[in-house]
Structure formats: C-alpha cells, structure tokens
Amino acid sequence: MINILEVDEIYKRYGYVVKNRDNIRIYEFKQGRYFGVDFFVHSKSDKLEKIKSEYIEQGYATLVRNYSSVIEVEEELFKSFFQISNFRNAITRRYDTFVKNQLIAMPDSAEYKYIRSPYSFMEYDLDGLPVFSDSQNGNSIINHVSTMVTETDMPLFVIIEAAAGFGKTCTAYELLNSIYQTDDIVPLYIELSRNREARIFKHILQNEINNQFQNTVTYEVVIHEIKRGKIPVIIDGFDELLSKDLTQNDSQLRDVESMLATIVSLLDGKAKIIITSRKTAIFSGEEFYEWMQNSAKKYKVARFSIAEPKITNWLDDERLGILNNAGFPISNVANPVLLSYIRNIQISELKDLASNSKSIVDKYFSFILNRERVRQNFNFDNETQLRILKKLVRFMTEFDIKSEKKSLIKDIIKDYNYKVFETYRKEYPSIPKPTHDELADTLSNHALLDRKQNDEIGIINEFILGILIGRNLLEGKYQEHYPIIFNTIISQEFASLSLLSYKVQPQERKTELWQIYKDGNFPFNTEFQFYRDVFLINRTLGEYSSGIIEENSFEDIDYSIETHFIDFVFRDCKFINCVFEFNAFIKSGFVNCKFYNCTWFCLPNNCQNDENIYFAGCSSNNSFMDCVYDVEELTDIKVNVEELILKYFIKPDGRTTSMKRLNLIRDDLAEYGEKLIDKTISSLEKKKYIALNGGMCFIQKEGIVYFNNEYHY
C-alpha cells in the first residue's frame, strides 16, 4: 500500500499545501496566477465529486490522481513541473545555435562534425583498485560517457580534461545533445567563463538553476531531482573560475577544494555530474587519487583525458594527398581551427593553398575578415578589423578575463576606437552616417567574437585569442601601452595560448615571439620556458629546472648537450624522431613515455652521467631503449627488488594501498641501483602488475594476485 506521508512530502517539496478531508488528500497549489488542486483518494470515500465541485467553483483547475506507488508520484510531478518537451526543445535550440556559431568563421559550404580524438580513461572499481584504458578503434568519448550516465545506478562524477583547443566545449555540447535524448531526463548545462565578477561556484550553480528553470521550480526541487538522476549536470570550463595558473602549491587550490565540496555534496542517490577542465595539478595529485579510491563504494569517479586529435581524424585521403604531393608541412597546421578550415574549403582552394601560400594563418584570417565586410556591410579593411580586436584583447589580458557582458564589450570597442570611428565616418559614402554606438554594436557581432552564456561576449576560440595576443607583442603594443609592467600584464595561461597558436606560424614570426618572451623577463615557470623553446624554435636551449611535462607529443627535437634538465620529468609523452644525450639530464627522467625512431647523440655506455637519467615504463619501436635497460646482475644484492616494489602497496594486514608516488619508490630503493629499480618497474608495468599514470604508480589486481602467490609467506 502506498505510503501517504511520503506522497505528502513530495507534494510539499513542489510547493503544495496538503489538506485531508474524508480520506481524500487534497494538494493545493496557489503560486503565481495558477491555482490548481490534485485529489488523491487513499482510502474509500464517496465525497470526491462534492469536494471537487467546491474547488471548481473557486476557480481551481482540478485533477484526480490514481497513484500506485511513490515513484509514480515523483515521476508525474517531475514531468508536470519541468515540462520535459519544452526543455528538450530549448536544448535542441541551444545545440543548434552552438553548431551555427562554429560555422560562422568557416566557408559557407562547411558542415559541422564532431571530431573523435583519442582519449585515456581511469576509474576505481568497487574494490578500490584502479582501472585504466585507452580508446580503441575510434571509440567515441561521447558514447562512453553517455553510457555511464544512463547505466550507472550510483552517483557519478566525470572529469574530462584536455589541453587548450582540444575540444572541451565541443565535447560538452555533444554530451548535452546525446544525454538529453534519454527519456525523462533534463540535463542542466552550465558554461563557465572567466569575467571580472567574483566567482563563487555555489552561487553560480544557484544562479544558473534559477535562470534556466525560470523559477518554475525552486532551487531545492532542482537539487533533489539532480540527486535522483533526473537532471544530469554538465559544467563546461571548470578551471575558468580561477584567475591564476594552477600548480600543486598554488593557494587557489583552496578555491578548488571549495568547488569540489559543492559538487561532492550533490553526489547522492543517482546524481550525475560531468565537468570539463584544462589539465591541472588538481586532478593529478596524490590527494585526489586517494579521495577517488576512498570514495569508490559511495560514488563512481571517472577521469577522461582527451589527447591531441590526429590529422587523419580531420582530413580525408584526397585532401591529405593534395597536401603531401605539394610538400605542404602538414605537421605545422596540427590545430583544430586550421584543420577545420582545410577540411571545409573547396578542393581548388586547397590546391592553391598548398602550392602558393606561405602562411595558412594569414589565408584563414583574410578569408574571415574579407567575408565579414560583406556579412556586416561595413568598409573596415582587414588590418583595421584586427586593430580593433587587438585592442579588445589587450583589455582582456589586463583584467585576466575571457568574456564580459556585451554592453561592456560595446563600450570598450567604442571608447578604444574613437579616432578609428571618426575616420570611418568621414570616409563613409552616404548619409546618414553610422554613429559610434552603431559601429560598436556592429563590431560586437564580429565573426571572431562569440556570444556566450548570460549575454557575454568573448573571442571565438583560444586559437584566435592566442594569435591576437602574439600580434600585440610582435607589434610592440603591450610594450607601448604598459612600458614598465608589460611583462606582468599577460598571465602565463594567456601567454601559453600564444605559444600554441604560433606553433603554426612562419618561422620568422615564431623566432621573433620567442625572442620577446626570452628577453622580456616574464615571471613564468620552467614548463613555460620549455614549451616556449620547443614550440617556437623547435629545440631545447639552456637550463630547465624542477619541471614536469605531461601528455604531450614532440617531433624532430634535439635534446642536446647545450641543454640541461635538472630534476625534470617527462610523463606520458610521445617522442618522434628526436635526438637525446645522457649528459643533458641530471636527476631527471621519463615515465611511461613512448619513443619512435629516436636516437642517442651519445650512447649511454660512453657517457659519464648515465646514472642521472632514468626511464620507467617506457618503450620504443627500435633499439633506443635496449641500452637503457641493459643492467648487469648485482650478485651482492640479497633482496628481490620486485618484491620490495610490490610491498609498497601491500600493508601488513593484507589490505592494499592502490597508489604510490614513483619518485618515492625510486628514492627509497636507490641503494639497489637506479637502473635496476627502473628496469624492474618497467618489467612490472609490462606484465600489467602495476600501472603508471603521470608520476603515480598503481598496483593492479593481477599484481596483488602475483604478490600473494609469490611473496606472501
């Protein structure tokens, strides 16, 4: 028999007043202009029609309910108040608008297509042991995550990480488009963007709920339905709430802990929370992995990492053939924005581009800016359009923001371009001439600007933002307008965007930007210096101390004796056609890296400092690794190093600790020879007894079984 008190509580949650007459539950709703009443006869009664007539006479809309279960009550009120069909239509419109915006800066014949990228996946099983996997055979992260959302009965927290420009927002929108098609589910999509307002995540969540559900239901009702799994939450740009670059010792980690605490408070019942973020130390630290392990039985936490998209994912064989036959440097355009442009231009244009164009970036900008003059019906030439946008970017970098209210963006454009607008009006051929306000409004709708959530405007993507930051530097604009503090106006994150964008520029521009960053005394860390050198001059130079480079791919780089890496680690990286020298590395090494056609400038047995470099869990497609793991047997060692390593994960009482820092194991066992330690770690990893992820070492189920069989006495 249905529990009437539970039914009462559900109705109260939605704002009903509960009354009882003659074994009839009466649920009155008297909010706004709508007065309605539900009747539920929970015991035998012959007074229903009489009571119903009384309410009709008072102007109430009446409905008799015949519930068979409490779950049915929940479902009926959810459908009634959330108006699922209307919300689904709103989501469809929102997705269609996003797709349309992606095509604004593309040829007219362009079609939007989500590009599948390789990705890695990690979660803990119910036994608290880690499970790692990589995408196979073109598997889509969209299908993977959507299946988890619809089939997981426990609370689910999904983290999707990717570097700048690797498709976080596209992935978030594809998930929205996929998940909402599940019956009786209303996804809540929150797009975070950095602006000048104080950003407290708990308040943002509340504001977004109020805005998107337009006060048809209370905040408390939405939170309840989130926990029931009826409202999956997608949060795009989790890291945008932070104004600084995140490092493991950054004081803003406390802010992240506060945000995560808000998310964790929602992980109840069948809640599903998905966030996207650029790669940060937050989700790679020992504390986070321990939290994941300890939480495995309470809620599922899954971490996805999107890798750099392959050019073959973007371009078909015909287009690749045209570029290859023309000797076009394809690796120089490995950027999603440019690849999308190449994928969508006419074949005849592609042939001309491949044979004649020195800079595909210039070609792309000319295409957008020329078309914008036609689309917007204005006469601003290309350089003037860029001049206006560069001023706007200087404002954004000064305040460390990526978007702002359209009204303010218009004011900035108008205030910063008074002389430009006056010249334009003087040369305007007809009357009436456009006002400054009209010109600013037109330019605020530029193809290189994108309208974001809550009527905010930002640069259309991070590639364009990086290009404009770089042009400001190359043209001396930051130096001119901020002569004393120009090297502190640009945050490291914004400067890094310029490095990524200028990877695909002609070498002379790359070298010029490199020189500015090298001589400008910018307060950036050693990782930035490394990327500055590799991305802009394609080599390493000088000293890099106490840095970590993770999940990146490097091709044709010379890590020569002119370079010194001190306490430096490469994790989960791929090296192609690179040259290495042992003497360049001091207490530095490689963890879980892959080497393709790499060579040694100085063979290890001819080098003096070969004990200063280590390799753990690495592999190569040639003999590159053979000399690294060529360890002589040490007959005076009476212990089994393999057993010592596995013991780190097995407690005396038989319980396991899933993860240990790799550097801790290496330091503790250094007396047995670092090469032997690294060789043993690599052997255990190859046998699937342990797994390496970043600087962490994880024991696997197979490793526990092996240890118990071999070493448990």
CATH of the domain at 649: 1.10.10.10
Position with higher pLDDT, 47 vs 630: 47
Same domain, 59 and 180: no
Residue 577 tokens, joined: 């056609």
> Is the per-residue pLDDT at 246 higher than 50?
no
Structural domain includes residue 227: yes
Among the candidates 291, 309, 327, a domain finishes at 309
Which amino acid does the sequence have at 302?
Answer: A
> Is the per-residue pLDDT at 318 higher than 90?
yes
Same domain, 61 and 97: no
The alpha-helical segments, DSSP class H, found in 597-671 are 641-647, 662-668
Rounded to whole angstroms, the Cα distance separating 31 from 216 reads 10
pLDDT the model gives residue 46: 85
User: What is the DSSP-derived secondary structure letter of residue 568?
Assistant: -
> Is the per-residue pLDDT at 314 higher than 80?
yes
Same domain, 155 and 293: yes
Same domain, 151 and 291: yes
Same domain, 61 and 124: no
Rounded to whole angstroms, the Cα distance separating 224 from 572 reads 40
Residues whose CB falls within 8 Å of the CB of residue 150, separated by 6 or more in sequence, listed in order: 179, 182
Structural domain includes residue 513: no
Same domain, 256 and 299: yes
Same domain, 49 and 95: no
Q: Contacts for 642-647 with beta carbons within 8 Å, 24 or more apart? A: 642/680, 642/683, 642/684, 643/707, 643/710, 643/711, 644/669, 644/672, 645/669, 645/677, 645/680, 645/681, 645/684, 645/690, 646/684, 646/689, 646/690, 646/699, 646/703, 646/706, 646/707, 646/711, 647/707, 647/711
Which amino acid does the sequence have at 337?
Answer: V
Among the candidates 247, 278, 309, a domain finishes at 309
Rounded to whole angstroms, the Cα distance separating 541 from 32 reads 69
Structural domain includes residue 632: no
Same domain, 226 and 288: yes
Neighbour tally for 360: CB within 10 Å? 22
Residues whose CB falls within 8 Å of the CB of residue 672, separated by 6 or more in sequence, listed in order: 634, 637, 639, 641, 644
> Is the per-residue pLDDT at 435 higher than 90?
yes
pLDDT the model gives residue 713: 57
Structural domain includes residue 502: no
Q: What is the mean pLDDT of residues 494-509?
A: 92
Exposed, middle or buried, 65 (CB in 10 Å: 0-12/13-18/19+)?
middle
> Is the per-residue pLDDT at 331 higher than 90?
no
Q: Phi and psi (nearest 5°) for 12?
A: -60, -40
The H-or-E segment that residue 418 falls in is helix 418-426
Cα–Cα distances (Å) from 576 to 179, 309, 437, in that order, read 38, 16, 53
> Is the per-residue pLDDT at 458 higher than 70?
yes
Exposure string of 256-286, with b = 16+ CB inside 10 Å and e = fewer, is beebbeebbebbbbbbbbbbbbbbbbbbbbe
In this predicted model, what pLDDT tens digit does every residue of 552-578 receive, in sequence order? Answer: 889 999 887 789 999 999 999 999 999
Percent of the chain with pLDDT over 90: 55
* Domain around 656: 641-710
In this predicted model, what pLDDT tens digit does every residue of 597-629 receive, in sequence order? Answer: 999 887 555 555 556 888 988 999 998 988 776
In this predicted model, what pLDDT tens digit does every residue of 145-198 receive, in sequence order? Answer: 999 999 999 999 999 998 877 889 999 999 999 998 877 899 999 998 887 776
Structural domain includes residue 219: yes
In this predicted model, what pLDDT tens digit does every residue of 272-302 receive, in sequence order? Answer: 999 999 887 677 777 788 888 888 889 999 9
Question: Helix 382-399 and helix 462-474: axis angle, to 10°?
Answer: 100
Same domain, 232 and 282: yes
Q: What is the mean pLDDT of residues 4-11?
A: 95
Same domain, 62 and 121: no
Structural domain includes residue 336: no
pLDDT the model gives residue 633: 46
Identify the bridge partners of residue 24 per DSSP, sorted by sequence position: 21, 41
Among residues 171, 158, 182, which one has the least CA distance to residue 231? Answer: 182
Q: What is the mean pLDDT of residues 86-110?
A: 89
Q: List, as one string, the DSSP characters of 31-47.
A: ETTEEEEEEEE-S--S-
Residue 331 tokens, joined: 């690796």
Structure-derived torsion over alpha carbons of residues 424, 428, 433, 434, reported in degrees to the nearest 10: -40
What is the tally of structural domains in the chain?
3
Structural domain includes residue 186: yes
pLDDT the model gives residue 635: 42
Exposure string of 542-580, with b = 16+ CB inside 10 Å and e = fewer, is eebeebbbbbbebeebbbbeebbbeebbbbbbbbbebbb
In this predicted model, what pLDDT tens digit does every residue of 535-549 receive, in sequence order? Answer: 999 999 999 999 999
Radius of gyration of the chain measured on its C-alpha atoms: 30
Whether a cis peptide bond, with omega within 30° of 0, leads into 432 is yes
In this predicted model, what pLDDT tens digit does every residue of 21-30 receive, in sequence order? Answer: 988 999 999 8
> Is the per-residue pLDDT at 638 higher than 60?
no
pLDDT band with cut points at 50, 70 and 90 for residue 392:
very high
In this predicted model, what pLDDT tens digit does every residue of 394-408 receive, in sequence order? Answer: 999 999 999 999 999
pLDDT the model gives residue 711: 84
User: What is the DSSP-derived secondary structure letter of residue 234?
Assistant: E
Same domain, 162 and 57: no
Structural domain includes residue 656: yes
> Is the per-residue pLDDT at 442 higher than 90?
yes
The H-or-E segment that residue 131 falls in is strand 130-134
CATH number at residue 100: 3.40.50.300
Residue 685 tokens, joined: 């990893």
Q: Let me know: does 51 contact 21? Beta carbons within 8 Å.
A: yes
Same domain, 40 and 176: no
Q: Let me know: does 233 contact 188? Beta carbons within 8 Å.
A: yes
Among the candidates 276, 309, 342, a domain finishes at 309
Mean pLDDT across the chain, nearest whole number? Answer: 88
Neighbour tally for 538: CB within 10 Å? 16
Rounded to whole angstroms, the Cα distance separating 57 from 50 reads 11
Q: Let me know: does 575 contact 557? Beta carbons within 8 Å.
A: yes
